Amino acid sequence: MSVNLQGNTISITDQNTHHLANQMLDTQALPMILQQIHQDVIEEYGKGNVADYIPALAKVNPHQFGMAIRTVDEQEFSIGAADTAFSIQSISKLFTLMLALDIVGDDLWKRVGREPSGMRFNSLVLLDSEGGIPRNPFINAGAMVVTDIIAARSAAPARRIEEFIASLSGNDANRIDQLVAAGEQATGYRNIAIANLLKGMGNLEAEVEQTLDCYFKQCAMTMSCRDLARAIECLANRGRSHFKSSFHGEKMDKRINSLMLTCGLYDAVGNFAYNVGLPAKSGVGGGIVAICPGQYSVAVWAPELDHYGNSVLGQLALEKLTFYTHTSIF
Q: What is the pLDDT of residue 307?
A: 94
* CA 296 to centroid of chain Cα atoms: 15
- Is 162 within a domain? yes
Strand 66-71 and strand 287-292: the pairing is: unpaired
Residue 236 in contact with residue 292, Cβ under 8 Å? yes
For 218-266, write each residue's pLDDT tens digit. Answer: 999 999 999 999 999 999 998 888 775 556 666 788 999 999 999 999 8
- Is 23 within a domain? yes
Whether the pLDDT of residue 274 is over 80: the answer is yes
Assess whether 90 carries a catalytic annotation.
yes
Cα–Cα distance measured from residue 264 to residue 268, given in angstroms and rounded to the nearest whole number:
9
Assess whether 47 carries a catalytic annotation.
no
- Is 137 within a domain? yes
CATH number at residue 258: 3.40.710.10
- Is 217 within a domain? yes
- Is 10 within a domain? yes
Assess whether 276 carries a catalytic annotation.
no
Residue 69 in contact with residue 229, Cβ under 8 Å? yes
- Cα–Cα distances (Å) from 135 to 37, 80, 240, 286, in that order, read 35, 36, 28, 24
Residue 267 in contact with residue 279, Cβ under 8 Å? no
| Catalytic residue (choose from 41, 60, 276, 284) | 284
Whether the pLDDT of residue 91 is over 90: the answer is yes
| Catalytic residue (choose from 93, 199, 281, 320) | 93
Cα–Cα distance measured from residue 172 to residue 174, given in angstroms and rounded to the nearest whole number:
5
- Is 330 within a domain? no
| Catalytic residue (choose from 87, 90, 117, 282) | 90
| Catalytic residue (choose from 266, 298, 300, 312) | 266
**Residue 1 binned pLDDT confidence (cut-offs 50, 70, 90):** very low
Q: What is the pLDDT of residue 117?
A: 87
Whether the pLDDT of residue 98 is over 50: the answer is yes
CA atoms within 13 A on the CB side of 274: 4
Assess whether 274 carries a catalytic annotation.
no
Query: What is the identity of the amino acid at 310?
Result: N
Whether the pLDDT of residue 17 is over 50: the answer is no
For 178-224, write each residue's pLDDT tens digit. Answer: 999 999 999 999 999 999 999 999 999 999 999 999 999 999 999 99
> Containing domain of residue 198, as a range?
2-325
- Is 111 within a domain? yes
Q: Indicate the Cα dihedral angle 310, 56, 100, 156, nearest 10°.
A: 180
Overall domain count for the chain: 1
| Catalytic residue (choose from 215, 241, 245, 328) | 215
**Residue 2 binned pLDDT confidence (cut-offs 50, 70, 90):** very low
- Is 180 within a domain? yes
Assess whether 308 carries a catalytic annotation.
no
